[in-house]
């Protein structure tokens, strides 16, 4: 991350919000709708699984893009539709390559458990949010940590998750809840089990952990990094079930690991010590996730351990410590993290706002607060909500 010394007036942030809201109003107009787009996609792709639908504006007007996959998860069949007439304007087939092919294999593996179709997901979203389908930007079928769900993104960048098994609709906000949190001690046990299941040795370091919610328990995913090779081991566990893969990261994950490779072996606070700090500072608390993060700020690399913690009072708290200073050392007092505090000074101010605006509409993982792949209006809204 590059720290910015300039401070921008708060009015500029308001101007950006007006632009974003104005674009939302321009997008909300009648069109063929997601249901017709889904029907056409299935007609052109019999026997293939519909996994994605996107609605967007182009120079030629509204357009829908749909994607279906074959049973072998080797090909993605794309269809472009005129958003006003429903006419097919483009057909394309592309190979599914790593890691997208593995993600789609997970979707097909859990598809038999699904009870909610794309059409039903749209109905559930409208009932939950009160918003029309025309306010949606995209709807994707996804699977992670032994779950299968739809990810809905609206044109204002807000996101919702539709559980494809239960039909439950929840905002896509990373919070620690009783349904997705485990104790720091249990997290440490899962890290040790990830080593055993994947065959990792001391050359691999835990850099991320995440949990989920299922009807049969809380799945846990642990990511290990080999700094010498840059490769990752991803281990997902639920009861006696597990899956482990080793791969070379790409895209946003590659950006994350590139920043960590040179520092992970020299951190003063290990994963185990960080978990002990969480337990010490939040007696009786639980965790939904943890991550080691390296950010470039003002000519120096700032490395922190971060976690989303459910405290004893039932509140979800973001918590971080400096990973390069020994635990308990002066200047390394654990503190609640504030989304939008890019320079890690404990405050969200004009410097942080300046960084976000300079990277607005980019795919910068360090500044993508809601982790939807883009630095956009929702990230700005979160930052302003934590101002001060």
Residue 93 lies in a domain: yes
| Whether the Cβ atoms of residue 291 and residue 314 lie closer than 8 Å to each other | no
Render pLDDT for 305-331 as a digit per residue (tens, 0 to 9).
999 999 999 888 888 889 998 876 655
- Whether residues 41 and 92 share a domain: the answer is yes
Q: Which of 293, 322, 337 is the last residue of a domain?
A: 337
Model confidence at 334, pLDDT cuts 50, 70, 90, reads low
Q: Which pLDDT score is estimated for 298?
A: 66
**Bond preceding residue 99 cis, omega within 30 of 0:** yes
Q: d(Cα 342, Cα 334) in Å, to the nearest integer?
A: 17
Model-level pTM?
0.73
Q: d(Cα 50, Cα 292) in Å, to the nearest integer?
A: 35
| Whether the Cβ atoms of residue 363 and residue 372 lie closer than 8 Å to each other | no
- Whether residues 154 and 200 share a domain: the answer is no
- Whether residues 165 and 191 share a domain: the answer is no
Render pLDDT for 214-266 as a digit per residue (tens, 0 to 9).
888 999 999 999 999 999 999 999 999 999 999 999 888 898 899 999 999 99
- Whether residues 194 and 332 share a domain: the answer is yes
The two tokens of residue 78 are 């794309």
Render pLDDT for 284-310 as a digit per residue (tens, 0 to 9).
999 999 999 998 766 677 899 999 999
- Whether residues 64 and 88 share a domain: the answer is yes
State the DSSP code for 321: E
- Whether residues 167 and 194 share a domain: the answer is no
Residue 76 lies in a domain: yes
Q: Which pLDDT score is estimated for 351?
A: 81
- Whether residues 150 and 199 share a domain: the answer is no
Q: 43 lies in which domain range?
A: 33-171
Q: d(Cα 369, Cα 367) in Å, to the nearest integer?
A: 6
- Whether residues 145 and 281 share a domain: the answer is no
- Whether residues 164 and 199 share a domain: the answer is no
Render pLDDT for 55-82 as a digit per residue (tens, 0 to 9).
998 888 999 999 999 999 999 999 999 9
| Whether the Cβ atoms of residue 343 and residue 357 lie closer than 8 Å to each other | no
Return the bridge partners of 222, or none. 209, 235
- Whether residues 192 and 330 share a domain: the answer is yes
- Whether residues 98 and 195 share a domain: the answer is no
Q: Which pLDDT score is estimated for 354?
A: 83
Residue 367 lies in a domain: no
pLDDT above 70 covers what percent of the chain?
85
Q: d(Cα 145, Cα 82) in Å, to the nearest integer?
A: 36
Mean pLDDT in residue range 15-20: 38
User: How many separate domains does the chain show?
Assistant: 2
């Amino acid at each position: 991350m590059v720290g910015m010394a300039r401070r921008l007036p708060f009015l500029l942030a308001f101007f950006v919000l007006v632009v974003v809201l104005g674009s939302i109003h321009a997008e909300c107009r009648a069109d063929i709708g997601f249901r017709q787009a889904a029907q056409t996609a299935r007609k052109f792709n019999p026997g293939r699984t519909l996994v994605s639908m996107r609605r967007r504006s182009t120079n030629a007007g509204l357009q829908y893009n749909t994607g279906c996959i074959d049973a072998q998860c080797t090909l993605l069949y794309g269809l472009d539709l005129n958003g006003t007439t429903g006419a097919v304007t483009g057909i394309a087939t592309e190979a599914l390559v790593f890691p997208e092919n593995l993600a789609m294999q997970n979707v097909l593996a859990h598809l038999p458990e699904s009870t909610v179709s794309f059409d039903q997901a749209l109905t559930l979203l409208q009932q939950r949010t009160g918003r029309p389908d025309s306010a949606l930007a995209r709807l994707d079928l996804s699977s992670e940590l032994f779950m299968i769900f739809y990810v809905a993104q609206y044109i204002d960048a807000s996101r919702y998750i539709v559980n494809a098994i239960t039909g439950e609709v929840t905002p896509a906000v990373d919070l620690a809840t009783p349904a997705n949190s485990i104790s720091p001690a249990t997290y440490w046990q899962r890290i040790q089990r990830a080593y055993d299941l994947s065959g990792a040795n001391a050359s691999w370091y835990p850099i991320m952990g995440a949990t989920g919610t299922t009807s049969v328990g809380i799945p846990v995913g642990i990511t290990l990094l080999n700094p010498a090779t840059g490769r990752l081991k991803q281990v997902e566990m639920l009861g006696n079930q597990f899956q482990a893969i080793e791969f070379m990261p790409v895209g946003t994950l590659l950006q994350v690991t590139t920043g960590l490779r040179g520092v992970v072996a020299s951190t003063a606070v290990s994963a185990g010590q960080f978990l002990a700090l969480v337990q010490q500072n939040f007696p009786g608390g639980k965790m939904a996730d943890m991550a080691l993060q390296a950010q470039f700020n003002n000519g120096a690399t700032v490395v922190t351990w971060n976690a989303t913690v459910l405290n004893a009072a039932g509140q979800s708290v973001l918590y971080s410590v400096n990973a390069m200073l020994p635990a308990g050392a002066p200047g390394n007092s654990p503190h609640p993290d504030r989304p939008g505090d890019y320079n890690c000074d404990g405050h969200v101010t004009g410097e942080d706002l300046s960084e976000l605006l300079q990277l607005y509409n980019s795919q910068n993982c360090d500044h993508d607060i809601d982790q939807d792949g883009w630095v956009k209006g929702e990230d700005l809204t979160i930052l302003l909500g934590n101002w001060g």
